Amino acid sequence: MFSSPTWPCVSRETVRVSRWVLHVDLDQFLAAVEQLRHPELAGRPVIVGGSGDPTDRAVVATASYEAREYGVRSGMPLRLAVRRCPDAVLLPADNPTYEAASAEVMAVLREFPVVVEVIGWDEAFLGWDGAGYASPEELAFAVRAEVKERTRLSCAVGIGDNTLRAKMATGFAKPGGIHRLTAHNWFSTLGGSPTEALSGIGAKTARKLADLGLHTVSQLAEASPTAVGRTLGPRMGPYYVSLARGMGRTEVEGTPYVPRSRSRETTFRENLDDWSRVREEISALALRVADDVVEERRDVARVGVKVRYAPFLTRTRSITLPEATRDAAVLEAAAVEVLGWFDPAKPVRLLGVRAEFVEP
């Protein structure tokens, strides 16, 4: 967490960098929203996900910090989360409420002399050219205080000389703090860390990199992009090397957040063995997605279907529509057609339908 005895202050680095990127990330966003509208839950372990029923095969969307102390994490099956934290309060996801809270926060951010690039419900990049504040830390303090005052939500702010470093800095700032990460301290901070510490590198990729003798961020940064590409692919190999070197966008795009798709999915308490029932569920999901599309007032270019077989094998397929549409019957028919490309002999535990919008 960043600390300083006085504000404002201007370091030598602040003078050298003409454009700064700040990454604002709301702390435990969904759980925090629920604790605000249910004050009695403040300080208690809260888990948000699915319908809030632990017998459903749903996963954790967000856990409060109190629940995280028990090892509960996003993406974890609700059943496992409850076993780890039996005293947790389970709540169903309420997307409209979260969208409204997010819009309120983003409106606050847009009042500052920055370019705002919304990248999700709970996070945004801010592009700052030095106007109005003596340092990026002073701006970060002001942003954090204003969001708290106006929305009662806490946020962490990462400061960087590009988007990657700003986002990585937020990891050191959470919860509720401020941290700066630039070319000046990138390797002194992260050089000795495992490659999995980088945003965008998961456990599977880290194992592949380890097989190449690349265990740390510094080792990956010093590697040949071409050599890494021979194992991890000509596009992804160089990309991973660029991550280790801290490379990212320096320009923040001031466009409003526009969802690329709308999707619905259902996890079944018991596996579905009857393929006619599977088709019925896909049709129902497609019609729910069609309702979302109408609300979005945008045309759909592709329709995708996700099938998760028991115990946990996931497959996705999609189809491009002959012409863009928001017609519910067309979307339903496309989803059913795509479903026909899957194996009907295997039991199904989860189904999903996704509508991909025409690019604005």
Q: How confident is the model at residue 15, as a pLDDT?
A: 41
**Does the structure show a pLDDT above 60 at 3?**
no
187-244, what's its fold? DNA polymerase; domain 1 (1.10.150)
* pLDDT confidence tier of residue 257, bands split at 50, 70 and 90: low
Tell me the per-residue pLDDT of 209-254, one tens digit each, with 9 for 90 and over: 999 999 999 999 999 999 999 999 999 999 999 999 999 999 998 8
Of the listed ranges 90-94, 293-297, 309-313, 336-340, the least confidently predicted one is: 309-313
Give every CB contact of residue 20 below 8 A, 6+ residues apart in sequence. Answer: 127, 128, 129, 130, 136, 139, 159, 160, 161
Known catalytic residue at 123: yes
Residue 31's nearest CA partner among 75, 68, 79 is 68
261-357, what's its fold? Dna Ligase; domain 1 (3.30.1490)
* pLDDT confidence tier of residue 360, bands split at 50, 70 and 90: low
Residue 272's nearest CA partner among 349, 217, 326 is 349
Tell me the per-residue pLDDT of 149-180, one tens digit each, with 9 for 90 and over: 999 999 999 999 999 999 999 999 999 999 99
From 34, 117, 123, 356, active-site residue: 123
φ/ψ (deg, to 5) at 206: -60, -40
User: HSE on the CB side for 282, CA within 13 Å?
Assistant: 27
**Does the structure show a pLDDT above 70 at 194?**
yes
Q: Which residue has the higher pLDDT, 58 or 342?
A: 342
- What angle, rounded to 10 degrees, do the helices at 29-37 and 95-109 form? 100
* pLDDT mean over 246-266: 84
Q: How confident is the model at residue 96, as a pLDDT?
A: 82
Whole-structure pTM value? 0.72
Q: How confident is the model at residue 4, as a pLDDT?
A: 32
Tell me the per-residue pLDDT of 275-328, one tens digit each, with 9 for 90 and over: 999 999 999 999 999 999 998 889 999 999 999 898 778 889 999 999 999 999
Question: Can you give the three-state secondary structure of 128-155, one letter per residue?
Answer: ECCCCCCCHHHHHHHHHHHHHHHHCCCE
* pLDDT mean over 330-338: 96
Residues of the chain with CATH 3.30.1490.100: 261-357
- Are 102 and 85 spatial neighbours (Cβ–Cβ below 8 Å)? no
| Number of Cβ atoms within 10 Å of the Cβ of 279 | 16
Residues of the chain with CATH 1.10.150.20: 187-244
Tokens (6 digits) for 251: 């320009």
CATH class of this structure's domain 35-94: alpha beta
12-28+96-185, what's its fold? Alpha-Beta Plaits (3.30.70)
Residues of the chain with CATH 3.30.70.270: 12-28+96-185
Q: How confident is the model at residue 295, as a pLDDT?
A: 86
What integer best gives the mean pLDDT of the chain? 89
Place of tokens 């809030």: 52
